[in-house]
């Protein structure tokens, strides 16, 4: 095993932290989804970006922009029957580019005690700084108590959990949505988790269309709940989310692009057109992510 990941990022000088960047494929085993789902996702996002950049090219992409990025894949092997990218190898590769990349782990929640053991191994042996879940892809209700031991392990490790919420481009337009159920990504299911694990930092990924109002309510009510703004161009953000980001959620909202399906440059260009207060923009682009990651400045 290569060296355990440790931060090498100069957090005082990076301009922004992208909290949501996918590793679709690399020398890390497999695609994170099959070809049919990949094609449907590309059609949904109308993405002109390269969908399968290597970890090295991802690092260079962000380094050129004086940014850091949280990178991850999703282990949905039980629900999909499809092996994910190698989570451990992603962490090892990120350690080679620790001046710019921040690895998150992923576990299949259906694997029970094995998932709990893997949480501890990924943190202790590989140095991952958080965990990514996609309830719709992984086929589980986040507030089902069968999965609580996984959250307890993450809470004990003191790292955040990032959950996909709302609509997903994965399976969009396919018969039956390829069997992917949107209701698993209703953020209200995470309200239970946030209440039952008050020391677990939860980040709700994406403006959670069609449940944005619920998402705003949860992030306002639960001190340990945040949200990232990935997966949508900012010009399409619901107006109530922009208002909340400028006011009561100014310290609870994180920049995220959804790279590579949403380009970093496109996201930031469109974000600059929003009526975001000058004092709030640095919080969204960097400072709130540092708080979630437990980085003291």
pLDDT mean for each 10 residues of the chain (297 residues): 88 97 65 55 53 86 98 94 86 97 98 98 98 97 98 98 94 86 97 98 98 98 98 96 98 97 96 97 98 91
pLDDT in tens, 213-260: 999 999 999 999 999 999 999 999 999 999 999 999 999 999 999 999
CA distances from 177 to 4, 231, 253, 297 (A): 39, 18, 29, 44
CA distances from 98 to 4, 55, 240, 241 (A): 10, 11, 36, 33
pLDDT at site 170: 84
Contact assessment for residue 124 and residue 100, using Cβ atoms and an 8 Å cutoff? no
Q: What is the pTM of this model?
A: 0.92
Contact assessment for residue 245 and residue 276, using Cβ atoms and an 8 Å cutoff? yes
Name the average pLDDT for the chain: 92
Cite the beta strand spans of the chain per DSSP E.
16-22, 67-72, 101-103, 131-133, 161-164, 202-205, 225-228, 253-254
As a whole number of angstroms, the distance between CA 115 and CA 100 comes to: 28
pLDDT at site 2: 66
Angle between helices 188-196 and 148-157 (to 10 degrees): 60
pLDDT at site 29: 45
pLDDT at site 28: 45
pLDDT at site 41: 52
Place of tokens 């350690």: 95
**Residue 196 Ramachandran class (φ > 0 left, ψ -120 to 50 alpha, else beta):** alpha
Three-state SS for 185? helix
Domains in the chain, CATH or no CATH each:
16-293 (3.20.20.140)
Three-class secondary structure assignment of 78-144: HHHCCCCCCHHHHHHHHHHCCCCEEECECCCHHHCHHHHHHHHHHHHCCCCCCEEECHHHHCCCCCC
pLDDT at site 160: 98
Place of tokens 């209701």: 183
DSSP H or E stretch at residue 297: none
pLDDT at site 171: 79
């Amino acid at each position: 095993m290569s060296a355990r990941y440790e931060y090498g990022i100069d957090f005082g000088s990076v301009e922004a932290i992208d909290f949501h960047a996918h590793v679709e494929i690399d020398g890390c085993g497999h695609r994170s989804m099959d070809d049919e789902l990949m094609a449907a996702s590309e059609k949904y996002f109308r993405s002109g970006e390269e969908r399968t950049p290597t970890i090295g090219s991802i690092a260079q992409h962000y380094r050129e922009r004086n940014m850091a990025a949280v990178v991850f894949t999703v282990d949905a092997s039980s629900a999909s029957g499809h092996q994910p990218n190698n989570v451990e190898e992603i962490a090892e590769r990120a350690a080679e580019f620790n001046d710019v990349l921040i690895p998150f782990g992923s576990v299949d929640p259906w694997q029970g005690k094995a998932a709990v053991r893997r949480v501890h191994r990924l943190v202790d042996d590989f140095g991952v700084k958080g965990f990514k879940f996609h309830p719709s892809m992984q086929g589980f209700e986040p507030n089902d108590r069968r999965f609580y031991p996984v959250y307890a392990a993450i809470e004990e490790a003191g790292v955040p959990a990032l959950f996909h919420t709302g609509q997903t481009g994965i399976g969009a337009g396919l018969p039956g949505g390829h069997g992917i159920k949107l209701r698993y990504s209703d953020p209200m299911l995470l309200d239970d988790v946030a209440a039952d694990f008050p020391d677990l930092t939860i980040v709700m990924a994406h403006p959670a269309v069609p449940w944005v109002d619920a998402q705003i309510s949860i992030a306002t009510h639960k001190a340990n709940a945040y949200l990232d703004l990935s997966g949508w161009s900012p010009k399409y953000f619901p107006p109530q989310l922009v208002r909340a980001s400028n006011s009561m959620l100014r310290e609870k909202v994180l920049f995220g692009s959804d790279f590579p399906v949403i380009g970093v440059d496109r996201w930031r260009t469109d974000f600059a057109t929003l009526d975001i207060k000058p004092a709030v923009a640095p919080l969204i682009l960097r400072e709130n992510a540092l708080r979630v990651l437990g980085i003291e400045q």
